[in-house]
Amino acid sequence: MEVSRIRALRGPNLWSHHTAIEAIVACTDAEQSIAGLPGFEERLRALFPELSVLQPTGHDDAISIAHVLELTALGLQAQAGCPVTFSRSTQTLEPGIFQVVVEYSEEAVGRLALELAQTLIQAACDDAAFDLPAALAQLRDLDEDVRLGPSTGSIVNAAVARNIPYRRLTDGSLVAFGWGSRQRKIQAAEMDGTSAIAEAIAQDKELTKKLLHAAGVPVPLGRSVVSPDDAWAAALEIGLPVVVKPKDGNQGKGVTVNVTTREQLDAGFAAASEFRDDILVERFLPGNDFRLLVVGNKLVAAARRDPPQVVGDGKQTVRELVEQVNKDPRRGSGHATSLTKIRFDDIALASLAKQGYVADSVPPKGQRVILRNNANLSTGGAATDVTDDVHPEVAARAVAAAHMVGLDICGVDVVCDSVLKTIEEQNGGIVEVNAAPGLRMHLSPSFGKGRPVGEAIVSAMFEEHEDGRIPIIAVTGTNGKTTTVRLIAHLLTAGGLRTGMTNTDGVYVEGRQIDSGDCSGPRSARNVLSHPDVDAAVFETARGGVLREGLAFDRSQVAVITNIGSGDHLGLNYITTVEDLAVLKRVIVQNVADDGYAVLNAADPIVASMAANCPAAVIFFAADHQHPVMAAHRAQGKRVVYVEDGCLVAAEGKLRLDIPLADIPLTRGGSIGFQVENVMASVAAAWAVDIGWDAIRAGLQTFTTESDNAPGRFNVFSHKGATVIADYGHNPDAILALVQAVESMPAKRRSVVISGAGDRRDQDIRQQTEILGDAFDDVVLYQDQCQRGRADGEVIALLRAGLGDAKRSSRIDEITGEFIAIDLALDRLNEGDLCLILIDQVEAALAHIAKRIAGS
């Protein structure tokens, strides 16, 4: 078994809606059926007893090693606690070659699971050992390391429940919700609206106390100190007992409470100095430690925090009792679990000493032993939910403290006997105000019920009816994609939306190009969705990007399929037939939002059939309104776009809107059939996202095929009284459409300049010149810059072969170099001639043509 080309499909893809790892697996003849591997399955199950059934009941197909790899990789993740259920293996047309797809919840874990599955299978083949517990531990540890922690995870889960899309911006806890101009961001439990000033105030504990005191919020007295002697003097001024802590700290690091002696104070000063040079001494408030969580203008949760402790049983030592408590599966080493393991360190030993114990002491039965003075969960503390017990005045004080500092999410630490009474009547106080507070104690308290704090934070970012989404229009097909994308973006801009667009020419935001090259893949789409100035997005969705990585979004508002025809790029990446291509292209149709639309070409049977795969409504378009698909859809009162009496017509029920084709320059009065189709698809898409008809009309009137507006898309020039057309058509369907378009344009003599893309099938390259040979007098064949895997002269030979039975072409030239071929064709032009130049290097070729024409 050989595994190659491992890909991460990070969005909806050819196989499913799930994120997944895809690999190409080559099996030997023997490995194509494990029935021919004696004892293999028995040895495999001995190594991995929890492996699922390899073959469903009632099936007798051969089970390949690739299929075993699929189920083993999925099973290892499931046993490690990952929420995965989907996997698939498919044999390709190449003997022994399989595509294996396995769902993952975390990409790194999915990749590791595939690697471990290979090792496990090899061990079964070799009758060797495999350490399953170690493998599962490795997967669990990695999953815990890379997945979102409980706090951030709760916010993400709340957003997902509200249909708000999200994406992690880093390996940490920086997460964006929503898209474009409607997006919001969080860093753990801190929102993008939190100011740096508010956070700085919260970190400065002395300044925080001054501000709270000025607002009438009760706080313990205290001051900054610079040395142990100064700290002791401050303690005597304030009155013992005191608290010693870093002026700027978190998670209880370096905090020593209930200090009553000089020796304790010196130790506390040393502990605080390990984290900060600025040390604070303040009055110790007796009572319980409460954390109150404020989100916006509301107290949403409260918990009593108890320091890490054990209860003696009269038999076990303190060390043994701690080990027993740490066996609780809820306790982990970091922040990924709801509780943290109790640390047995110098601070714990010092706390024991104050109580007259050492690590090996056996406390009496029922005796509570404190391992730390602070009650932070990050140091092993426990939490009890008291949200329903909080006195209204206590809640009001917490909200006032958050507002005084300027935090929209705030953890307010209160020390008092009980939250049932006001802070003042208990001589309690607010001891700290925390930015980015931990949420674990509220989500999964040790005692009491968890609180929906993630939902509260999401509600603070998005109003009840908001989901953070902007309209996304995904466009794919064989031909017309780029022009359709550009026209849709133009119509959306005419409708007042700041529009982002990706296509094979680049990335554009509000008409400004921010990236160049072929940007029709998911990475460029994600960049647009991350842009804060984008109100709507239009994406050319090429097959390559979907195969490599899946879609950049979970769903779109509109999916447009321009056409499939006879297809393109067939034979690449195991897409060998038009039907295979259609299955890939319809991925965008399958992932349209429930309230969205699929815009489908009714005249293309394969495209029209995709309506059955659409979870939303469909808008059909076709020039012929009497086409059976169009007629049936219109009869049901549904949306259609067609051509009638020289007008483009949009109809739904009794609604009918007419736009004269004469007012749409792109179509040249309706004479260019493929541009009419592009316009119909674009109008349907704009209609689907509620662009007004006045804006649609205005947009159609101002969109032209000039080279700077739609480069390489039927760009028309005039040269020496002749017509020159430059286009990027590169497959038989495109060539046929171009021939039909130029036939409506008068010419004395017709010439064409063409090369062929080397990554097309031989018959596709030949068919292009078979079509052109019957429509043009002169043909200039050129070898372009990139042969895409072909030998020199191979493409030209195929093009020449296609002209073997040409009915019209009488002059054929073979040229090396695109610009030399263009110059030859331009030099031969006379007044009244027509020349179609099928360009390869779009921008450079257009610039060359423009320069030649300008210099003539």
Are residues 70 and 101 in contact, defined by beta-carbon separation less than 8 angstroms? yes
Q: 66-70, 232-236, 273-277, 743-747: which has the minimum mean pLDDT?
A: 273-277
pLDDT tens by residue, 159-202:
999 999 999 999 999 999 999 999 999 999 999 999 999 999 99
Predicted pLDDT of residue 701: 97
Q: Which of 198-207, 290-299, 328-337, 540-549 has the lowest mean pLDDT?
A: 328-337
**Is there a cis peptide before residue 241, judged by omega within 30 degrees of 0?**
yes
Q: Is-contact 729 838, C-beta < 8 A?
A: yes
The CA distance from 389 to 419, in Å, is 6
Buried/exposed code over 687-714 (b: 16+ C-beta within 10 A; e: otherwise): bbbebeeebbbebbeebebebebbbbbb
The residue-averaged pLDDT of 253-267 equals: 90
Supply 681's token pair.
Answer: 């698809």
427-436 mean pLDDT? 93
Distances from the Cα of 676 to the Cα of 516, 595, 661, angstroms = 27, 27, 8
DSSP secondary structure string, 589-638?
HHTEEEEEEEEEETTSHHHHGGGGG-SSEEEEEEEETTSHHHHHHHHTT-
Mean pLDDT, range 425-441, rounded to an integer: 93
What sign does the CA torsion over 122, 126, 131, 132 have?
positive
pLDDT tens digits along 459-470? 999 999 999 999
To which CATH superfamily is domain 472-702 assigned? Answer: Mur-like, catalytic domain (3.40.1190.10)
pTM score, whole prediction: 0.88
For residue 250, what pLDDT is reported? 66
CATH class of segment(s) 175-213+290-305+382-465: alpha beta
Q: What is the pLDDT of residue 153?
A: 95
Beta partners for 299?
294
Query: Dihedral (C-alpha) 663, 561, 692, 513: value to the nearest 10 degrees?
Result: -80
Q: Is the pLDDT of residue 249 over 70?
A: no
Q: Does domain 221-283 have CATH number 1.10.1040.50?
A: no
Residues 554-570 have a mean pLDDT of 90
* Percent of the chain residues past pLDDT 90, beyond the cut: 84
The answer to whether residue 129 scores a pLDDT higher than 70 is yes
Read off the pLDDT band of 252 (50, 70, 90): low
Q: What does residue 817 show for φ and ψ, rounded to 5 degrees?
A: 115, 125
pLDDT band at 146 (very low <50, low <70, confident <90, very high): very high
Q: Which of 691, 627, 680 is nearest to 649 (CA)?
A: 680
Q: Where are the domains of the chain?
A: 2-146, 175-213+290-305+382-465, 221-283, 472-702, 715-854
Asked if 32 and 569 count as a contact pair (C-beta separation under 8 A), the reply is no
- What pLDDT shows up at residue 336? 65
Dihedral pair phi/psi, residue 232, rounded to 5°: -65, -40
Q: Tell which CATH architecture fits domain 715-854.
A: Alpha-Beta Complex (3.90)
Alpha carbon 150 to its chain centroid, in Å, reads 20
**Cβ(205)–Cβ(594) below 8 Å:** no
Separation of alpha carbons 375 and 446, rounded Å:
13
Q: Which of 454, 312, 291, 453 is nearest to 383 (CA)?
A: 291
Local structure of 295: helix, strand or coil: strand
Contacts 24+ apart (CB under 8 A), 524-528: 525/551, 525/552, 525/553, 526/167, 526/552, 528/180, 528/500, 528/501, 528/502
Note the helical H segments in 190-306. Answer: 196-203, 205-214, 228-238, 262-273
DSSP state of 80: T
**Is there a contact between 331 and 337 (Cβ–Cβ < 8 Å)?**
yes
Least confident of 38-52, 59-73, 334-348: 334-348
pLDDT of 214-223, one tens digit each? 888 999 988 9
pLDDT digits (tens, 9 = 90+) for 98-120: 999 999 999 999 999 999 999 99
Share of the chain above pLDDT 70, in %: 99
**What's the rounded Cα separation, in Å, for the pair 75 and 220?**
55
DSSP assigned state of 577: S
Six token digits for residue 612:
């059955």
* Residue 375 pLDDT: 78
Q: How many residues does the chain have?
A: 856
For the cut 70, the answer to whether the pLDDT of residue 589 exceeds it is yes
The yes-or-no verdict on residue 707 having pLDDT over 80 is no
Q: How far is CA 340 from CA 378, 582, 784, in A?
A: 6, 52, 64
How confident is the model over 322-359, as pLDDT tens digits?
999 999 888 887 666 778 899 888 888 988 998 999 99
- Is the model's pLDDT at 57 over the cut of 80? no
Mean pLDDT of all residues belonging to the chain: 93
Contact 802, 767 (CB under 8 A): yes
- Using DSSP's 3-state secondary structure scheme, residue 790 falls into coil
Burial class (CB in 10 A: 0-12, 13-18, 19+), 83: exposed
The candidate with the shortest Cα–Cα distance to 687, out of 533, 531, 560, 552, is: 560
On the CB side of 562, CA atoms within 13 Å amount to 30
- Closest by CA to 1, choosing from 158, 114, 104, is 114
Q: How many other CB atoms are there within 10 angstroms of residue 4's CB atom? A: 9
pLDDT digits (tens, 9 = 90+) for 749-804: 999 999 988 778 889 899 999 999 999 999 999 987 667 678 888 999 999 999 99
